[in-house]
């Protein structure tokens, strides 16, 4: 039987006539997949509280309370970031969770995330970093190798931590590692301005947002939050499909940046789990870029395992997880760099253990 | 469904329903002796798993859904690990309450709150009050303060006894239900005591708190005395002892204010003379 969480995210109305046990399952799956606050938002949006057994109401209310506090923290971090970078006349582009929240999207309602992600142009990295340091952020990875890893190969600087709040910030200059040979320039992504809590903030446009989310998912090597990531794609697509010209802009952006295959795959798995509605004209166009049949067969096995919703007893297939780990790394860096990186990580962890 | 699908027990612990997946039959036995079993189809608040791992120097792990909040412990500590894990579930998720690390006891429909760090003697004192002086245990570990009414809600679970207090309490005449001692945990030797319930008190009802008493066990002290402290002083200490004040923010501030304004506040250095403690604490609920 399809898990309650997939049915619910696909169409919250499907819950009419649910038994108390099914509601209870939904809540437990919400905890397991870190989406209970998102479920709580949908419950209030669709006015479903009355159908939920009263003994379970507190889960929904408590999840909203927790999310309110999370949101409060995020708003403060965004304000602090804008103050710090404004000092260097740099306007960052908010990415992922912070952007979903700032743009008031459905996917952002109740979504809990650990870091703030933002991007600046590559040539702005140095002044942005200096300004962050002056305003109380510091770099988390001090190790020489990690510094090299991030600064030379990766698409982001080593994570920053805000000394006053403890919040973590990832500062990007593009969306995938330059060492992968596939990094587009930040200017290839169209941006928009949104009003949020007294600030004018910059985010990607809807098409660029979905593109980024899809690329991020398909370059991932750690799928512990796999279900949340694929439900992001579904919620973004379901909201944006209402906008005029969204799908054609998505195709255009995917073409410019060379990520048609990633978008195609992400939409494929979103449809697999949530029957996401995509106009036939556009889905045929994305399907053209999918891998060959054999590879697609392997991918389907791999990604349906990695992206499935989990529960208390789920242990994801180890073979799938290791395959994803290697695949994700190989997408991020060429083989010779990966071998060097792996060799370094193994020897370093060994010497660290010896020191202990 | 994966392995051990059928290996579970559903039970009520305090105010909450747990479904425990475990292949450790001794743990299932202990749990069914201590907690009321529920129909497997009942709704649950927390699905948790306590499972063994490794064949050499075997260990147990605790999981709530996919989260493992603690490092694995030696296999003999399965039951204490389960108790700590259940506490964690409540303190991390039940934001309908302001949760304060404290023992809570009731008599005459009035509640006293005993916040305290480990070693303050609050568990021993709670056990003595329940077993020897007719108090009801609302909770050994946490005061659940309703954020709208400021009332304290019961969630009675076994009292966690540590080290010397296990011997003291097991000599009380009515201490019948104590789990076997588990040695060498991070808190030393621990055992859990099921506190008796004296009068039928309702788990669905909130109780007004009348006093906040901060006990400290000082064996050298010559007399037992309640020292009044200011509401402000007590308020700050209660915040320090709270698990989710930072999440509730304004709501937490208001709830705690409501509770604190209705209470007397005391520190209580005591030397473990229970009969003197009974006299002093009964004064507070008269």
pLDDT tens-place string over residues A21-47:
999 999 999 999 999 999 999 999 999
State the nearest Cα–Cα gap between B94 and chain A, in angstroms: 6
CB contact under 8 A, A21 and B249: no
For residue A64, pLDDT over 50 is answered with yes
B141 against B173, higher pLDDT:
B141
Q: How confident is the model at residue B6 (pLDDT cuts 50, 70, 90)?
A: low
Of B2, B43, B64, the CB nearest to A315: B2
Of B3, B93, B249, the CB nearest to A69: B249
Name the one residue in this structure whose structure tokens are 């404004």.
A86
For residue B187, pLDDT over 90 is answered with no
pLDDT in tens, B263-277: 999 999 888 889 999
pLDDT in tens, A85-123: 999 999 999 999 999 999 999 999 999 998 999 999 999
CA atoms within 13 A on the CB side of B48: 30
Give me the mean pLDDT over the A44-55 stretch.
96
- Name the residue in chain B with its Cα closest to that of A20: B43
Give me the mean pLDDT over the A65-74 stretch.
96
**Beta bridge pairs of residue A162:** A137
d(CA A26, CA A108): 20
d(CA B58, CA A256): 55
Based on the number of CB atoms within 10 Å of its own CB, is A202 exposed (0-12), middle (13-18) or buried (19 or more)? middle
Size of interface A-B (CB pairs under 8 A): 65
B50 against A153, higher pLDDT:
B50
CB contact under 8 A, B21 and A312: yes
pLDDT in tens, A161-175: 999 999 999 999 999
* pLDDT score, position A353: 64
CB contact under 8 A, A314 and B2: yes
- Name the residue in chain A with its Cα closest to that of B19: A312
* pLDDT score, position A88: 94
CB contact under 8 A, B43 and A313: no
State the nearest Cα–Cα gap between A228 and chain B, in angstroms: 13
Give the number of other Cβ atoms within 10 Å of residue A242's Cβ.
Answer: 8
Q: Which of B267, B127, B106 is nearest to B193 (CA)?
A: B127
Say how many residues make up chain B: 286
pLDDT in tens, B249-265: 999 999 999 999 999 99
For residue B64, pLDDT over 70 is answered with yes
Task: Give the residue numbers in A contacting B (CB under 8 Å), as ranges.
Answer: 20-21, 23-24, 28, 31-33, 53, 55-56, 58-59, 61-62, 65-66, 69, 72, 224, 310-315
What is the domain partition of chain A in residue ranges?
208-356
**Strand-pair category, A199-204 with A93-95:** parallel
**Site from B45, B53, B64, B65 to mutate, A interface, most A CB atoms within 10 angstroms:** B65
Name every chain A residue with its beta carbon within 8 A of the beta carbon of B64. 31, 312
Average pLDDT value for chain A: 92
B224 against A82, higher pLDDT:
A82
d(CA A293, CA A44): 43
Give me the mean pLDDT over the A280-290 stretch.
93
pLDDT in tens, B32-62: 889 989 998 899 999 999 999 988 899 999 9
CA distances (Å), A139 to each of A130, A163, A169, A170, A341, in order?
11, 10, 9, 10, 21
Give me A77's structure tokens.
Answer: 């971090």
Q: How confident is the model at residue A356 (pLDDT cuts 50, 70, 90)?
A: low
d(CA A268, CA A278): 10
| CB distance A312 to B49 below 8 Å | yes
CA distances (Å), A267 to each of A136, A310, B37, in order?
40, 20, 45
Q: What percent of chain B has pLDDT over 90?
A: 70
d(CA A76, CA A69): 11
CB contact under 8 A, A310 and B66: yes
CB contact under 8 A, A21 and B43: yes
| CB distance A104 to A194 below 8 Å | yes
B121 against B15, higher pLDDT:
B15
Q: Which of A128, A172, A127, A180 is nearest to A153 (CA)?
A: A180
Which are the contacts of A143, defined by CB distance < 8 A and separation ≥ 6? none
State the nearest Cα–Cα gap between A260 and chain B, in angstroms: 33
For A96-114, give one letter per residue: b (16+ CB within 10 A) or e. Answer: bbbbbbbbebbbbbbbbbe
Give me the mean pLDDT over the A230-236 stretch.
97
- Name the residue in chain B with its Cα closest to that of A310: B66
User: ipTM of this predicted complex?
Assistant: 0.93
B222 against A291, higher pLDDT:
A291
């Amino acid at each position: 039987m399809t898990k309650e969480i997939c049915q619910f995210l696909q169409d919250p109305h499907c819950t009419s006539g649910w038994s108390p046990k099914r509601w209870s399952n939904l809540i437990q799956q919400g905890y397991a997949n870190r989406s209970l606050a998102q479920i709580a938002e949908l419950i209030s949006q669709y006015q479903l509280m009355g159908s939920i057994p009263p003994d379970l109401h507190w889960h929904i209310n408590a999840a909203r309370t927790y999310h309110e506090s999370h949101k409060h923290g995020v708003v403060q971090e965004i304000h602090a970031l804008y103050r710090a970078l404004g000092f260097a006349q740099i306007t960052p582009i908010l990415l992922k969770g912070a952007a979903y929240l700032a743009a008031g999207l459905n996917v952002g309602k109740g979504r809990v995330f650990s870091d703030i992600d933002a991007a600046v142009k590559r040539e702005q990295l140095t002044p942005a970093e200096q300004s962050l340091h002056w305003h109380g952020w510091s770099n988390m990875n001090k190790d020489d190798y990690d510094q090299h890893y991030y600064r030379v190969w990766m698409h982001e600087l080593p994570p920053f931590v805000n000394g006053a709040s403890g919040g973590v910030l990832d500062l990007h200059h593009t969306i995938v590692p330059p060492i992968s040979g596939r990094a587009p320039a930040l200017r290839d992504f169209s941006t928009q301005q949104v009003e949020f809590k007294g600030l004018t903030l910059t985010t990607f446009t809807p098409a660029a947002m979905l593109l980024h989310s899809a690329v991020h998912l398909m370059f991932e090597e750690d799928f512990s939050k796999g279900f949340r990531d694929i439900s992001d794609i579904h919620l973004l697509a379901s909201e944006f499909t209402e906008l005029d010209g969204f799908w054609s802009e998505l195709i255009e952006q995917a073409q410019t940046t060379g990520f048609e295959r990633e978008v195609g795959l992400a939409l494929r798995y979103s449809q697999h789990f949530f029957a996401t509605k995509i106009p036939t004209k556009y889905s045929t166009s994305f399907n053209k870029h999918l891998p060959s049949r054999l590879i697609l067969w392997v991918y389907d096995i791999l990604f349906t395992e990695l992206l499935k919703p989990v529960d208390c007893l789920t242990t994801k297939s180890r073979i799938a997880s290791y395959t994803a780990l290697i695949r994700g790394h190989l997408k991020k860096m060429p083989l010779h760099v990966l071998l060097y990186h792996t060799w370094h990580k193994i020897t370093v962890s060994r010497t660290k253990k010896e020191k202990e | 469904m994966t392995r051990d699908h059928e290996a579970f027990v559903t039970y009520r612990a305090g105010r909450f329903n747990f479904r425990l997946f475990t292949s450790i039959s001794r743990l299932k036995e202990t749990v069914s002796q201590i907690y009321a079993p529920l129909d497997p189809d009942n709704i649950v608040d927390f699905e948790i798993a306590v499972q063994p791992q490794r064949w050499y120097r075997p260990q147990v792990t605790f999981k709530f859904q996919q989260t493992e909040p603690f490092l694995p412990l030696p296999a003999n500590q399965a039951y204490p690990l389960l108790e700590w894990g259940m506490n964690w579930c409540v303190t991390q998720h039940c934001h309908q309450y302001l949760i304060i690390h404290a023992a809570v006891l009731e008599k005459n429909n009035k509640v006293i709150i005993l916040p305290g760090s480990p070693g303050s003697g609050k568990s021993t004192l709670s056990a003595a009050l329940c077993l020897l002086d007719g108090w009801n245990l609302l909770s050994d570990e946490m005061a659940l303060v309703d954020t709208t009414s400021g009332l304290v809600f019961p969630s009675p679970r076994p009292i966690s006894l540590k080290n010397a207090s296990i011997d003291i309490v097991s000599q009380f005449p009515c201490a019948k239900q104590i789990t076997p001692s588990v040695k060498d945990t991070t808190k030393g030797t621990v055992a859990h005591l099921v506190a008796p319930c004296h009068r039928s008190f309702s788990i669905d009802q909130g109780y007004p708190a009348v006093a906040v008493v901060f006990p400290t066990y000082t064996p050298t002290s010559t007399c037992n005395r309640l020292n009044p402290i200011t509401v402000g002083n007590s308020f700050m200490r209660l915040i320090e002892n709270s698990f989710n004040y930072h999440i509730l923010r304004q709501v937490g501030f208001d709830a705690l204010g409501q509770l604190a304004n209705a209470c007397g506040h005391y520190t209580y250095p005591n030397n473990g003379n229970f009969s003197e403690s009974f006299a002093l604490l009964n004064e507070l609920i008269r």
